[in-house]
Amino acid sequence: MPRVVFVRPDGSKQETDAVDGTTVMQAATANLVPGIVAECGGELSCATCHVFVDEQWLGALPARSEDEEDMLEVTSEEPTDASRLCCQITLDASLDGIVVHIPKTQK
């Protein structure tokens, strides 16, 4: 069971366990993680599950798709190289302990 560490804007952390094959967004919504709105439910049609992936984990993720890149252009917080939509990060054992930072706002 992969573990996800969510870091809130105030620096507090919430760790959750997730089932292999689910997304970081699904782990967040199942565990009521504040700051992950996920309006579209993971359909890649909003940007309300924007996170900043901790630098040490960036290399473990596949590249962003063109559709994800397009959606990142409409996030309420300025996207960076570490920006991802967490609905696009599928969890497995290789991502056990992944750390994602929640932005101050989502839209």
CATH assignment of the domain containing 73: 3.10.20.30
| Structural domain for 73, as ranges | 3-101
Predicted confidence (pLDDT) per residue in 12-51, tens digit:
999 999 999 999 999 999 999 999 999 999 999 999 999 9
pLDDT of residue 28: 98
Average pLDDT of the residues of the chain: 96
- Indicate the number of domains in the chain: 1
Does 106 map to a domain? no
pLDDT value for 81: 97
pTM: 0.95
Cα–Cα distances in angstroms (integers) from residue 28 to residues 11, 49, 53, 69, 73, in the given order: 17, 9, 14, 21, 22
Cα separation, 30 vs 67, whole angstroms: 25
Cα dist from 83 to 27, 32, 39, whole Å: 18, 21, 18
pLDDT tens sequence across 62-71: 999 999 999 9
Q: Is the pLDDT of residue 107 over 90?
A: no
- The burial class, CB within 10 Å (0-12 / 13-18 / 19+), for 90 is middle
Tell me which H or E stretch contains 50.
strand 50-53
Tell me, rounded to whole angstroms, the distance of Cα 25 from its chain centroid: 6
How far is 36 from 58, CA to CA, in rounded Å?
19
The pLDDT tens digits of the residues spanning 48-98 come to 999 999 999 999 999 999 999 999 999 999 999 999 999 999 999 999 999
The verdict on residue 76 lying in a domain is yes
